[in-house]
Amino acid sequence: MTILTHDTLTLPTPLGGTLVNRVRAVQPGELAGLPTLELGDRAAADLEMIATGAYSPLTGFLGEKDYRSVVDRMRLEDGTPWSIPITLMVTPEEARTARGTVALTHGGQPVGLIEVQEQFTPDKTHEAREVYRTDDAAHPGVAALNAAGSVYLAGPVTLFDVPRGHFPAHHRTPAEVRSVIEARGWRSTVAFQTRNPIHRAHEYLQKVALELVDGLLLHPLVGTTKGDDVPADVRVKAYEVLLEKYYPRERTLLSVYPAAMRYAGPREAILHALSRRNYGATHFIVGRDHAGVGSYYGTYDAQEIFQNFTAAELGIQILKFEHTFYCKSCSQLVSPRTCPHDATHHLVLSGTRVRELLRAGEALPAEFTRPEVAEVLREGYAR
């Protein structure tokens, strides 16, 4: 991996060596007579992530050999690190007409193409146990896997246009994020993944990291999440008000990450890190139970899984942080490494408890989140 130096401004090499770009405008008459396939929200997000290079080196949905290698080894068949199978799942009825070039639609509108090169039937139970470490149907990732079609289509894709509708001011492709980093002259950039509103513990981690690097890429996931997660528009507004008052503008960049959430815990932490390398980040924060849900994963499993790869393979430096919280006796944000007090001194609010307070219209403690953020969340839940 090439790291920025004080003398040269060279961004980290994308995974696979080249940033994939499979975005182009649809040509007149190009779709005439083609079979069509309607994509759900998750598949449409994957299409964008592939075509814009966020999932470099992928150029399409995985074929069977790559799929099985990813499930069993966390690598593509050629050995490239890759932890989550990016597949296009369809019903047997849809598969029967999905031959050759197929037009992809989302919401009834044409959004791209796939050149179908393979069709195969997976072992979903095996996939669930390996990727999600469970086949429990209550796990949201397993539930989504089970609900999808039983046939996988594989082949290179084309995206007609980047869908920036919900967050046009913040929706940037990897190439565009890289351009901002270059324009600002950042020699090192730390990326922070979140699907939740930023609270004080997040702010603490980000600012500690900013002591080490030139810039912060605040990169909230805005694709499909669980129904009880805070809506993306509310979260983005909370990020905006926080950055306006409490972060250095020249050293922070808010840009949305359009992927769908899979809740795959450790495996998803790897995917999040590798894709942020493609966006131009040199560092990535992995904290407590990254991309986890419920009690399916150990507190620091998402940190330990990176031991399966060398630093050169990852091409991005992982910053591992312990659980952070507000200590009433220390009067500040701390971690088990820095706080001598037991849990009775700590203010720790679970996501469930935060949602309960918001639904009841109650105030969030100032030690937990900034008042401006709390007000955005309160308004979001009141609407």
Q: pLDDT by residue (tens digit) across 120-151?
A: 999 999 999 999 999 999 999 999 999 999 99
More confident site: 363 or 322: 322
pLDDT of residue 8: 52
Instruction: Indicate the pLDDT class of residue 118, thresholds 50, 70 and 90.
Output: very high
CA terminus-to-terminus distance, the chain: 47
The average pLDDT across 231-242 equals 92
Among the ranges given (33-37, 65-69, 203-207, 270-274), the one the predictor scored with the smallest mean pLDDT: 203-207
H or E element in which residue 129 lies: helix 124-131
What pLDDT sits at residue 323?
86
Both tokens of residue 146?
């089970």
323-337: pLDDT as tens digits = 888 999 999 999 999
Rounded Cα distance between 339 and 325, Å, is 10
pLDDT of the residue at 9: 56
**pTM of the model as a whole:** 0.94
User: What is the model's pLDDT at position 356?
Assistant: 82
Residue 230 has pLDDT above 90, yes or no: no
The residues assigned a catalytic role are 195-196
Compute the Cα dihedral for 137, 142, 147, 153 and give only its sign.
negative
Q: What is the mean pLDDT of the chain?
A: 93
The reported pLDDT for the residue numbered 91 is 98
Residues 301-316: pLDDT tens digits?
Answer: 999 999 999 999 999 9
pLDDT in tens, 78-92: 999 999 999 999 999
CA distance 349 to 361: 16
What domains sit in the chain, N to C, each tagged with a CATH number?
36-159 (3.10.400.10), 174-382 (3.40.50.620)
pLDDT band at 383 (very low <50, low <70, confident <90, very high): low
pLDDT at res. 84: 98
Q: How confident is the model at residue 365 (pLDDT cuts 50, 70, 90)?
A: confident
Cis peptide before 57 (omega within 30 of 0): yes
Q: What's the pLDDT tens digit per position in 146-189?
A: 999 999 999 999 999 999 988 999 999 999 999 999 999 999 99
* pLDDT of the residue at 7: 45
* pLDDT of 2: 42
The DSSP element (H or E) to which 206 belongs, if any, is: helix 200-210
pLDDT tens per residue, range 90-115: 999 999 999 999 999 999 999 999 99
Name the residue among 23, 11, 5, 13 with its Cα closest to residue 172: 23
Q: What is the pLDDT of residues 3-49, one digit of tens each?
A: 444 445 579 999 999 999 999 999 999 999 999 999 999 999 999 99
